[in-house]
Amino acid sequence: MGKLINLRHLDIKGTRLTEMPTQISRLKDLQHLTYFVVGKNGGSSISGLKELCNLRGKLDILGLENVVSGQDASEANMKDKKHLEGLVLKWSGEMEDSLKERDVFDKLQPHAGLKTLSIFNYGSTKFPDWLQGVHSFRNMVSLELVDSANCYSLRSIGQLPSLKHLGIEGMKAITIVGREFYGDASSSKKPFQSLETLRFKLMEKWEEWHALGAGEFSCLLELSLVDCPNLIGELSIRFPI
């Protein structure tokens, strides 16, 4: 790795790495990294991302269940990776400590200019405050929340001003989608003012979807409700005509 100190592109798609090469943190000029794997039992630490502040494009971080603590996650310095446009965060789905998992997620806050964010298999019951206080992510155009089976609330997503694509899948603890989905009730901005596609899938316990009546979904072009067997009654959401 010492001879590759000036490496700028590391493409490891299609491999089955269980942890990253040693000394990857020394590749300070690295601009493109397809994914980063957090190793088990003292293997590659997420802190190996600390010095990789020139990363661009999209980065997948896998094996987040192996992060030792929130402090370890904070050393990844995700806020400083201001050239990243897309971020994928993946847990294995095997949660051992809900509070630790939430703390780790909290410390992985990306920079405010992020455009796409996908979250897979997050196991705690609540998303971190930075995701719920979404007013800071003004450039985000795509958000995916997949198999966060223990989360029971969707909060403030409607206040993302540039969001065009939203996918919510496998959130099995959600029973009601209400006012918290649209954001701050005192805000003068219409919720979901840029949203074009909205997908709900595998929402087994979802029963009610409450309308806000504030001109939400004014740009919606595509709505998908797949395998939501308990969503009953009249769909009171008003859509553009």
* Domains defined along the chain, listed by start: 2-226 (3.80.10)
Selection from 125, 123, 137 nearest residue 87 by Cα: 137
| Cβ atoms of residues 161 and 189 within 8 Å | yes
- pTM higher than 0.85 for the full model? yes
- Which has the closest alpha carbon to 177: 194, 163, 165, 191? 191
How many Å apart are CA 59 and CA 39, to the nearest integer? 17
Q: What is the pLDDT along the chain (241 residues), one digit of tens a residue?
A: 445 556 676 766 666 677 787 778 788 888 998 899 998 876 789 999 998 999 999 999 999 999 999 999 999 999 999 999 999 999 987 767 888 999 999 999 999 999 999 999 999 998 888 886 656 799 999 999 999 999 988 878 888 899 999 999 999 999 999 888 988 756 667 889 999 999 999 999 999 998 887 778 889 999 999 999 999 876 766 666 5
Q: Which pLDDT belongs to residue 110?
A: 95
Query: Cα Rg for the chain, rounded, in angstroms?
Result: 19
User: Which of these, 206, 223, 214, 239, lies nearest to 167 by C-alpha position?
Assistant: 223
Report the distance separating Cα 226 and Cα 38, nearest Å. 33
What SS3 class is residue 28?
A: coil
Question: CB of 146 within 8 A of CB of 119?
Answer: yes
For 182, half-sphere exposure in the C-beta direction (CA atoms, 13 angstrom radius) is: 22
3-class SS of residue 158: helix
Asked if residue 205 lies in contact with residue 230, where contact means CB atoms within 8 angstroms, the answer is yes
Using an 8 Å Cβ cutoff, are 122 and 144 in contact? no
Name residues whose C-beta falls within 8 Å of residue 22's C-beta, 6 or more positions apart in sequence. Answer: 1, 44
